[in-house]
């Protein structure tokens, strides 16, 4: 098309973009296009009916978003993957796809705060039966599953006390009962744990955390069996909680260094956990890589690394935490986790702020607990920082 004879209004709209087709790039283009155009209606119809590859409308599919979905599909050894605006969108869309009145879910008491709200508040409004078992009590879980259910929802390691749930064992029990198994793999990442290879049907990530790794984009992903992923994708298409190209680009970019970051964070977290365990002012350290961890043997079996998050409690109450945390220099006191920079916070005022002291106690969360998400800083500097702050107490 010759734009020269046209007016500026037209030239500004079409100039340089008439037939955009970028090849040979070293980083994937950020395609912020809402829709995709076709030269003729037959081609358009073939793409729309899935007979030919292509994109129609970005609420459904988008080339930049597809790059991220492919990355997670490959890393999780899955048949298919799809994505969402946030981790909670991935979780809620998955639960609402497979559950409904009378369709029961069995899960554990310890789960991410937002997931807990789904179980305790939103699902019951739709008459979805929810049974929550003691986290790590595998006999209780197996009995609940055998009693009949449609979906089993697991999260391991858990937030914030790093409990471990046996994915292979509970997947086997679920298969017998004919239930779909979904695992939130956010804390472990596909570098440290592969739920699908342990028997789960679907794996979910808050891509906001380790996958992105830089605290600058939000997203969620789901990977697993193609027919199941397809069902959730079809719900999300209409529900509309789609991921945009800009955050998809940032997350996919972050994932290029996922293994490097996780290997370092695994090693640093282990060193820090061992350091803290030997400190007189620290009453307990929660990290699945410690031999003293209750479920260390399950963790060894199902994980390739123990992760970048640990928790510890001080030998005092919340007042001590209030004094201790602000004197750390190499941490952001912030609610997120899985970033290149170290993040720390007390579950008492962040993830579990809605609970009473008694409820936290029942979940095994001491008032002086601190969740510490290890960044990629030099571990000697992090230990020196912790050491200086503990000395001040
Ligand atoms: C953060 C988080 C979520 C929720 O993800 P968002 O991206 O914040 O919506 C779910 N599960 C776990 C384990 C998380 O840490």
Rounded distance from Cα 42 to ligand 1 centre (Å): 42
Distance, CA of 378 to chain centre: 25
Query: How distant, in Å, are the alpha carbons of 172, 285, 346 from that of 148?
Result: 14, 37, 37
Can you give the pLDDT at residue 256? 93
Rounded distance from Cα 199 to ligand 1 centre (Å): 22
The answer to whether the CB of 195 falls within 8 A of the CB of 183 is yes
Tokens of 234: 């079809």
Residues 210 and 356 both lie in one domain: no
Rounded distance from Cα 2 to ligand 1 centre (Å): 50
Residues 227 and 309 both lie in one domain: no
Quote the CA–CA distance of 312 and 298 in Å, as a whole number: 21
Preceding amide of 178 cis, omega within 30: no
In b/e form, how buried is each residue of 310-329, taking b as 16+ CB within 10 angstroms?
bbbbbeeebebbeebbeebe
Q: For atom 5 of ligand 1, which residue has the closest CA?
A: 87
Preceding amide of 137 cis, omega within 30: no
Rounded distance from Cα 88 to ligand 1 centre (Å): 6
Residues 149 and 162 both lie in one domain: yes
Indicate the pairing of strand 105-108 with strand 343-345. Answer: unpaired
Q: For atom 11 of ligand 1, which residue has the closest CA?
A: 112
Rounded distance from Cα 316 to ligand 1 centre (Å): 29
Residues 198 and 214 both lie in one domain: yes
Query: How distant, in Å, are the alpha carbons of 270, 284, 316, 326, 339 from that of 275?
Result: 9, 12, 19, 20, 21
Residue 226 lies in a domain: yes
- Is residue 385 among the annotated active site residues? no
Of 255, 286, 312, which marks where a domain is finished? Answer: 255
- Is residue 301 among the annotated active site residues? no
Taking alpha carbons only, the member of 330, 207, 310 closest to residue 268 is 310
Query: How distant, in Å, are the alpha carbons of 77, 111, 129, 230, 315 from that of 171?
Result: 17, 18, 20, 21, 38
Quote the CA–CA distance of 104 and 123 in Å, as a whole number: 10
The answer to whether the CB of 31 falls within 8 A of the CB of 245 is yes
pLDDT tens, N- to C-terminus, the chain (393 residues): 788 888 888 887 887 777 667 778 888 899 999 999 998 999 999 999 989 999 999 999 999 999 999 999 999 999 999 999 999 999 999 999 999 999 999 999 999 989 999 999 999 999 999 999 999 999 999 999 999 999 999 999 999 999 999 999 999 999 999 999 999 999 999 999 999 999 999 999 999 999 999 999 999 999 999 999 999 999 999 999 999 999 999 999 999 999 999 999 999 999 999 999 999 999 999 999 999 999 999 999 999 999 999 999 999 999 999 999 999 999 999 999 999 999 999 988 777 777 778 777 777 888 899 999 999 999 999 999 999 999 999
Residue 1 lies in a domain: no
Of 255, 281, 300, which marks where a domain is finished? Answer: 255
CATH number of the structural domain spanning residue 117 = 3.40.640.10
Query: How distant, in Å, are the alpha carbons of 133, 185, 341 from that of 72?
Result: 30, 12, 23
To test the pocket of ligand 1, the residue of 87, 108, 193 to mutate (highest count of ligand atoms within 8 Å of its CB) is: 87
Can you give the pLDDT at residue 303? 98
Quote the CA–CA distance of 41 and 27 in Å, as a whole number: 32
Domain range enclosing 300: 259-391
Residue 137 lies in a domain: yes
Tokens of 139: 């006999």
Taking the CA of residue 219 as reference, the ligand 1 atom at the shortest distance is: 7
Can you give the pLDDT at residue 297? 97
Q: Is the CB of 270 under 6 A from ligand 1?
A: no
Distance separating the N- and C-terminal Cα atoms of the chain: 73
In b/e form, how buried is each residue of 91-115, taking b as 16+ CB within 10 angstroms?
bbbbbbbbbeeeebbbbbbbbbbeb
Tokens of 373: 């998400």
Residues 116 and 176 both lie in one domain: yes
Taking the CA of residue 187 as reference, the ligand 1 atom at the shortest distance is: 13
Residues 32 and 181 both lie in one domain: yes
Residues 250 and 266 both lie in one domain: no
Taking alpha carbons only, the member of 112, 95, 69 closest to residue 243 is 69
Quote the CA–CA distance of 360 and 97 in Å, as a whole number: 31
Q: For atom 8 of ligand 1, which residue has the closest CA?
A: 87
Can you give the pLDDT at residue 356? 77
Rounded distance from Cα 194 to ligand 1 centre (Å): 18
Can you give the pLDDT at residue 131? 98
Quote the CA–CA distance of 177 and 145 in Å, as a whole number: 7
Quote the CA–CA distance of 139 and 51 in Å, as a whole number: 48
Residue 164 lies in a domain: yes
Quote the CA–CA distance of 275 and 180 in Å, as a whole number: 40
Of 255, 272, 297, which marks where a domain is finished? Answer: 255
Q: For atom 2 of ligand 1, which residue has the closest CA?
A: 206
Can you give the pLDDT at residue 311? 97
Taking alpha carbons only, the member of 223, 181, 217, 191 closest to residue 90 is 223
Residues 230 and 244 both lie in one domain: yes
Residue 2 lies in a domain: no
Q: Is the CB of 208 under 6 A from ligand 1?
A: yes
To test the pocket of ligand 1, the residue of 86, 112, 308, 345 to mutate (highest count of ligand atoms within 8 Å of its CB) is: 112
- Is residue 209 among the annotated active site residues? yes
Can you give the pLDDT at residue 1? 79
What's the maximum distance between 2 C-alpha atoms anywhere in the chain?
81
- Is residue 59 among the annotated active site residues? yes
Query: How distant, in Å, are the alpha carbons of 121, 154, 190 from that of 64?
Result: 35, 30, 21
Residue found under tokens 């920079």? 341
- The DSSP line for 83-120 is EESSHHHHHHHHHHHH-BTTB-EEEES---HHHHHIII
Residue 351 lies in a domain: yes
Rounded distance from Cα 187 to ligand 1 centre (Å): 9
Catalytic member of 71, 112, 150, 372: 112
Residues 235 and 302 both lie in one domain: no
Q: Is the CB of 346 under 6 A from ligand 1?
A: no
Number of domains in the chain: 2
């Amino acid at each position: 098309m010759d734009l020269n004879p046209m007016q500026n209004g037209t030239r500004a709209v079409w100039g340089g973009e008439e037939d955009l087709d970028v090849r040979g790039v070293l980083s994937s283009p950020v395609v912020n296009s809402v829709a995709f155009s076709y030269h003729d209606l037959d081609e358009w119809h073939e793409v729309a009916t899935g007979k030919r590859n292509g994109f129609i409308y970005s609420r459904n599919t988008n080339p930049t978003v597809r790059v991220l979905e492919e990355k997670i599909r490959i890393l999780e050894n899955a048949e298919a993957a799809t994505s969402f605006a946030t981790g909670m969108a991935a979780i809620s869309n998955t639960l609402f796809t497979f559950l409904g009145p009378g369709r029961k879910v069995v899960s554990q008491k310890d789960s991410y705060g937002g997931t807990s709200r789904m179980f305790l508040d939103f699902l019951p409004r739709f008459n979805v039966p929810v049974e929550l078992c003691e986290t790590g009590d595998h006999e209780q879980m197996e009995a609940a599953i055998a009693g009949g259910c449609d979906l089993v929802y697991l999260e391991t390691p858990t937030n914030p006390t790093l409990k471990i749930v046996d994915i292979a064992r509970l997947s086997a029990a679920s298969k017998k009962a004919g239930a779909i198994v979904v695992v939130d793999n956010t804390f472990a990442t596909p570098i440290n744990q592969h739920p699908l290879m342990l028997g789960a049907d679907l794996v979910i990530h808050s891509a906001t955390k380790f996958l992105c790794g830089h605290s600058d984009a939000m997203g969620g992903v789901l990977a697993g069996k193609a027919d199941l992923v397809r069902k959730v994708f079809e719900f999300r298409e209409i529900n509309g909680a789609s991921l945009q190209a800009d955050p998809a680009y940032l997350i996919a970019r972050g994932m290029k260094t996922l293994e490097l970051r996780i290997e370092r964070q695994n090693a640093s977290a282990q060193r820090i956990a061992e350091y803290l365990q030997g400190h007189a002012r620290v009453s307990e350290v929660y990290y699945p890589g410690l031999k003293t961890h209750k479920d260390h043997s399950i963790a060894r079996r199902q994980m390739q690394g123990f992760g970048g998050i640990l928790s510890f409690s001080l030998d005092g109450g919340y007042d001590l935490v209030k004094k201790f945390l602000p004197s750390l220099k190499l941490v952001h006191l912030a609610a997120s986790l899985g970033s290149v920079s170290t993040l720390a916070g007390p579950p008492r005022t962040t993830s579990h702020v809605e609970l009473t002291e008694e409820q936290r106690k029942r979940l095994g969360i001491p008032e002086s607990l601190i969740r510490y998400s290890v960044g990629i800083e030099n571990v000697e500097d992090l230990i020196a920082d912790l050491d200086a702050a503990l000395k001040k107490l």
